[in-house]
Amino acid sequence: MRLAGSSDANPFACVAAGIASLWGPMHGGANEAVIQMLREIGTADRIPEYLAKAKDKQDAFKLMGFGHRVYRNLDPRAKEMRVLAIRCIAEFEKASAAAADADAYLTSSAPVGAVSVDDVRFDGAELRMLFELATALETAALKDDYFVSRKLFPNVDYYSGLALCAIGIPLSMFTPMFAIGRSIGWIAQWKESIEEPVRKIGRPRQLYTGEPPRSYVPIGERGGLGPSAAAIHRETSFTDKLSPVQMHGEDAFGYFT
């Protein structure tokens, strides 16, 4: 947000930059990634298999929702989020069970922000199963010295996704919900930055670790590299087979026929 704002971008563009930076599964999208991971694991008997995959450096699988740059021991938020998640799931199960009889369930008892059962992509049984799987995975991981020695404990994202599902938030909206809470801080950062008496454009430092200086070899003198990308493009590009008139004609691309 602040880096984008240093270029005098408007606040809407800066907020969009903040959301884009937040979106990935290694940050704001972590709670969505946890749900997807739990669905992939499926059952508790597969937990040892996936813990082994997480410890295998050659395997792309990552144990999502574990570890934090600041909380190097237990994340105190995770404990509270676990309680909140099971409470939300219990309320969702209560609403789902009474859905056939509107008079049996009072609207005032519904969790804040809940939507109709038909709008939720999870049912109560699946949410309960995912929660139990999450607790079993947490227990198994905390008994494994590999994760404990590396201080990989559950963080707040581990259970927050289950709570969001229970109150009717679709997976695709997890990051926007996360961003809503941060937006006031983002705007404050933007406002503070534009009011600074001396402003400079943000330029993150980079340390080049690539190849040392090398002599340029003309492309025609490079042996053993096969055809150049330009040559391949010329052979495969349909535009090279068209006349100048065809290339600039609307009908040539089929968009207007």
The CA-based angle 92-96-102, given to 5 degrees, is: 115
Residue 177 has pLDDT above 70, yes or no: yes
> What pLDDT score does 67 carry?
86
- Residue 86: name the closest of 44, 128, 58 by CA: 128
Question: 95 vs 21, 164, 166, 217, CA distance in Å?
Answer: 36, 15, 10, 71
Q: Looking at per-residue confidence, does 255 or 154 come out higher?
A: 154
Q: Which pLDDT tens digit goes with each residue over 19-34?
A: 988 888 888 889 999 9
Residue 29 and residue 65 in contact, taking contact as beta carbons nearer than 8 Å: no
**Residue 175, SS3?**
helix
> Which of the residue ranges 95-109, 201-215, 229-243 would you say has the lowest mean pLDDT?
229-243
Residues with catalytic function: 68, 157
pTM of the predicted structure, to 2 decimals: 0.68
Reported as a pLDDT band with limits 50, 70 and 90, residue 237 is very low
Average pLDDT, the chain: 80
Reported as a pLDDT band with limits 50, 70 and 90, residue 255 is very low
Could you tell me which residues are beta bridge partners of residue 66? 154
> What pLDDT score does 23 carry?
86
Residue 189 and residue 5 in contact, taking contact as beta carbons nearer than 8 Å: yes
> What pLDDT score does 1 carry?
84
Domains present along the chain, CATH in parentheses: 2-194 (1.10.230.10), 225-253 (no CATH)
**Residue 244, SS3?**
helix
> What pLDDT score does 50 carry?
96
Q: Which pLDDT tens digit goes with each residue over 128-151?
A: 999 999 999 999 999 999 999 998
Could you tell me which residues are beta bridge partners of residue 82? none
